């Protein structure tokens, strides 16, 4: 069973994004290149765990982080799991493999004050790009959608009378996100300006570049970094931190975990629980300030 069959399975059946599929393909190709160099033959389906272990040692010795090594091994593990499913092999050589230990990834959300400051009107130029940039920050913060979801958002996904947005998430899973009134008003203003900017009638995407077409991938990162650098000293400034901020602020203000899970488009509560540590800190702070026994 060839690697190309596995790649087709990821793209067509699992409906992974092209970016994710390419990552799997690249990781597996790197292992095959290592195996060929070490053994003088191409890797076959009966690769031993010892050979994979040698690759892990090679990656670590070449200063790859444990997190990066784990990602590459996860790609290989998925490939062998696929081979078991299609009965090309009986047991995966990685069946009992344990991932390398990694430090917990600390992602610090923006504070409510930072969000208020970054969305002040004077932070943005008085032109289409300024209006678009403000709308991008606001919609990421008030919906919690992913960067890729925002980039692929189309006009047909907007239900302005119903005050909702339909988002196409990972593995083509759809979810409906409500719009708060202020975001709805600002989105309406943006769409009016957008119509004057579009170069080709029928451009489907909501957010466009100054050329009137769909934005390029790195533009959203640049927008977030540019504006948050003015109001925040936090090291990491990215669309994902805004998603993290959305979830943390909801939980801190009383939203239940299941509701946040649905809004984020997570398949399990375990994925959502990573956002709770900051809300727990807020609860502890409120508890200390409010409970009579804490004053003793």
What confidence score (pLDDT) does residue 269 get? Answer: 78
Q: Is 243 a catalytic residue?
A: yes
Structure tokens at 293: 């026994």
Residue-wise pLDDT for 267-277, tens only, equals 777 777 776 66
Looking at the predicted structure, is the pLDDT value of residue 278 above 70? no
Residue-wise pLDDT for 144-186, tens only, equals 999 999 999 999 999 999 999 999 888 788 999 999 999 999 9
Q: What is the mean pLDDT of residues 69-91?
A: 93
Q: With the C-alpha atoms ordered 105, 218, 136, 123, is the resulting torsion angle positive or negative?
A: positive
Looking at the predicted structure, is the pLDDT value of residue 39 above 70? yes
Catalytic residue among 25, 146, 244, 261: 146
Residue-wise pLDDT for 111-140, tens only, equals 999 999 999 999 999 999 999 999 999 999
Q: Is 62 a catalytic residue?
A: no
Question: Of 49, 246, 230, 209, which is closest to residue 128 (Cα–Cα)?
Answer: 209
Distance CA 89, CA 238 (A): 42
Distance CA 164, CA 261 (A): 17
Contact 273/256 with Cβ under 8 angstroms? Answer: no
Contact 45/83 with Cβ under 8 angstroms? Answer: yes
Looking at the predicted structure, is the pLDDT value of residue 289 above 80? no
Q: Is 266 a catalytic residue?
A: yes
Residue-wise pLDDT for 192-217, tens only, equals 999 888 876 778 999 998 888 888 88
Catalytic residue among 166, 170, 175, 213: 170
Catalytic residue among 132, 244, 249, 266: 266
Q: Is 190 a catalytic residue?
A: no
Catalytic residue among 243, 244, 249, 261: 243
Residue-wise pLDDT for 44-72, tens only, equals 778 899 999 999 999 999 999 998 999 99
Q: Is 249 a catalytic residue?
A: no
Distance CA 182, CA 142 (A): 10
Question: Of 241, 218, 219, which is closest to residue 228 (Cα–Cα)?
Answer: 241
Q: Is 275 a catalytic residue?
A: yes
Catalytic residue among 24, 35, 141, 275: 275
């Amino acid at each position: 069973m060839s690697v190309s069959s596995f790649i087709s399975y990821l793209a067509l059946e699992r409906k992974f994004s092209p970016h994710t599929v390419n990552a799997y393909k690249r990781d597996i190709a790197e292992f095959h290149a290592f195996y060929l160099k070490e053994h003088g033959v191409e890797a076959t389906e009966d690769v031993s765990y010892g050979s994979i272990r040698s690759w892990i040692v090679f990656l670590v010795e070449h200063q790859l982080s444990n997190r990066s090594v784990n990602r590459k091994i996860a790609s290989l593990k998925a490939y062998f799991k696929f081979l078991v499913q299609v009965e090309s092999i009986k047991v995966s050589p990685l069946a009992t493999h344990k991932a390398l230990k990694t430090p917990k990834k600390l992602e610090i959300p923006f504070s409510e004050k930072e969000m208020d400051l970054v969305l002040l009107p004077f932070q943005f130029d008085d032109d289409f790009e300024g209006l678009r940039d403000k709308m991008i920050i606001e919609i990421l913060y008030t919906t919690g959608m992913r960067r890729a979801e925002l980039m692929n958002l189309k006009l047909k996904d907007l239900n302005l009378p119903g005050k909702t947005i339909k988002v196409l998430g990972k593995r083509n899973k759809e979810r409906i996100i409500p719009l708060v009134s202020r975001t709805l008003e600002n989105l309406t203003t943006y769409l009016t300006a957008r119509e004057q900017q579009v170069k080709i009638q029928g451009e489907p995407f909501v957010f466009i570049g100054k050329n009137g077409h769909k934005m390029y991938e790195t533009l959203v990162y640049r927008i977030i970094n540019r504006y948050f650098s003015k109001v925040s000293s936090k090291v990491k400034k990215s669309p994902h931190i805004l998603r993290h901020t959305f979830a943390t602020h909801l939980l801190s203000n009383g939203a239940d975990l299941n509701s946040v899970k649905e809004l984020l488009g997570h398949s399990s509560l375990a994925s959502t629980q990573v956002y709770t540590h900051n809300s727990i800190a807020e609860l502890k702070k409120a508890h200390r300030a409010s409970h009579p026994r804490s004053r003793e």
